[in-house]
Amino acid sequence: MILASQSPRRLELMQSMGIDPQVMPADIDEAQKVDEKPLALVKRLAQEKAIAVCYKLMEQPNFEQLNNEIVLAADTIVWTDDGQVFGKPTNAEDAKRMLTKLSGQTHHVSTGVALRRFKAFKSPSPDGAPSVVAVAFVETTDVTFFELSEDEIAAYVASGEPMDKAGAYGIQGNGRYLVQSIQGDYENVVGLPVSLLSRELVKFTGNHDYLEHALAGRKH
């Protein structure tokens, strides 16, 4: 399996499922389109990442040996009911702005996941990528923050943890102290909804080992 992400958190989550994928990050334009809704955005970005990596596979010297490899791509966004999307902060002030906006409020964390099977010997799929069109889905978790003081926000931003994370916090790190409650899949907030993903992999491949090995703690 190919993981189209450079996120160490996603790699760790996949390894927790018993899968040790090859990492091949995708390089795409992640800008939101005009009037694009958050759920449509995160699903599109996951699909575009998977497509980009399928093209990368065609450039590999051993691309024929990669035939039938599964490409898994994901993208996570934080967003609020007014449709505002919070990506990774550009600097410390941007991180403070995001955390101030999220303070005392409930927001949504959505992860889009795309699965594609690489086909080295077939014509491109309808979207032009050298793979068969597969599946894409979105999982959403609701997270509520405590009311945060300016000093609390400043202390967290000073730790440096928010800077590479959507919404300027990491729930698996010190960002957990910002969270009052969570409704939904915790690991989805970390970056990959492994419970739903394991079931989607079973449907996609017809191989129940993806779920059974995860439940048993065995490598796939």
Could you give the residue numbers annotated as active site?
75
What residues contact 180, with CB distance under 8 A and at least 6 apart?
144, 145, 146
How far is 174 from 179, CA to CA, in rounded Å? 10
Cα end-to-end span (Å), the chain:
11
Burial (Cβ within 10 Å: 0-12, 13-18, ≥19) of residue 179: middle
Measured in degrees and rounded to the nearest 5, phi and psi for residue 215 equal: -65, -35
Chain centroid, CA 87 distance in Å: 12
- Count the neighbouring beta carbons within 10 Å of the beta carbon of residue 213: 17
CA-wise closest residue to 72 among 106, 30, 40, 118 = 118
How far is 213 from 220, CA to CA, in rounded Å? 6
How far is 13 from 8, CA to CA, in rounded Å? 9
How far is 175 from 172, CA to CA, in rounded Å? 7
